Amino acid sequence: MKLNFRTININDREWISSILRLSDFRGCEYSFANNFAWRRLADAQISRFNDFYFLRSYIDGEFYYTYPAGEGGIERFIEVLFDETEGENKQLKFISVLEDCAIRLKRIYGDRCEIVEDRDNFDYIYDTQELIELRGKKHHGKRNHIANFKKTDWEYRPLTPDLIDDCIEFSTVSFNAKNAYTSHTAVAEQFAINAFFDNYQALKLVGGVLYQNSKLVGFTIGEALNSDTFVIHIEKALPEIQGAYPTLFNEFIKANASQFRYINREDDVGVEGLRKSKLSYKPEFLLKKYVVTINEK
């Protein structure tokens, strides 16, 4: 059986989502919306093998695969990948592999399998009720920032289709102000934001917008990731307005995620500012991920 790689499109949502539900993975890579919106980063392509779904990315001259979502044994899938890999001393490289999946690969392939921790891609997982209530000393700072913001003339609204153009403009102005076009990742993020908005209803996303003095100061987008986790895909606010970020986040999860045990705020890609911000919300745990290399011999 040949693997036919191609670019993901919006019409793939139903079959991909049905396979993702079978695996029920908590990693942010296992979201159709994420895969679709970020498709230009690393030239990502998709394929289906029997009842497995997976991505292939091209990074620094090499192909990397995600651990396949689906049910059943993956040995035949690995064999087919090796058959389609050219050259001598063949290797398969998998990225963002969750710990249980890495252990499974090691159990199957033994010494042929090399596992390296990938801290920059760990997801930040939070207890939903804890972040809704923000009780205790460790959340004192967030409570104060929110309280100060709410002393102003503010409003939170659900992100409805009529507000999308305003959010795109807000994001574009922020992007241009940072001269972000010099960063490939920033350009890919802006493309992803536009993809989320252009397909907002088809992707069945939910969002929220925050206003101060009738001016839009932030927006966010998320969705159910698996059976117990809600994921935040995008979160943008004016950094100079104290309390805008925590207020937006708190109001959004109160409105959309209270029925989920966990919130996934995705990874920090090794950016120090992002890491500091995400740690400041006191994660319940970090969802570990690994780069796994399997040698043919």
Residue 41 pLDDT exceeds 90: no
* Mean pLDDT in residue range 281-286: 98
CA 244 – CA 148 distance, rounded (Å): 10
Residue 182 pLDDT exceeds 80: no
Say which range, 40-49, 105-114, 116-125, has the weakest mean pLDDT: 40-49
Specify the pTM: 0.95
Residues 6+ apart with CB under 8 A from 122: 267, 268, 286, 287, 288, 289
The helix (H) or strand (E) run that includes residue 126 is strand 123-127
Instruction: Give percent of the chain with pLDDT exceeding 90.
Output: 85
Cβ proximity of 287 and 123 under 8 Å: yes
Instruction: Give percent of the chain with pLDDT exceeding 70.
Output: 98
CA 142 – CA 136 distance, rounded (Å): 11
Cβ proximity of 249 and 256 under 8 Å: no
Per-residue CA distances from 297 to 52, 183, 250 (Å):
24, 39, 51
* Mean pLDDT in residue range 8-30: 97
Residue 274 pLDDT exceeds 70: yes
Residue 132 pLDDT exceeds 80: yes
CB atoms within 10 A of CB 136: 10
| Predicted confidence band of residue 86 (pLDDT cuts 50, 70, 90) | confident
* Mean pLDDT in residue range 96-104: 97
| Predicted confidence band of residue 71 (pLDDT cuts 50, 70, 90) | confident
* Mean pLDDT in residue range 123-151: 97
| Predicted confidence band of residue 186 (pLDDT cuts 50, 70, 90) | confident
Domains and CATH numbers, the chain: 10-122+289-295 (3.40.630.30), 123-266 (3.40.630.30)
Residue 138 pLDDT exceeds 70: yes
Q: What is the tens place of the pLDDT at every residue in 116-125? A: 999 999 999 9
Q: What is the tens place of the pLDDT at every residue in 220-234? A: 999 999 999 999 999
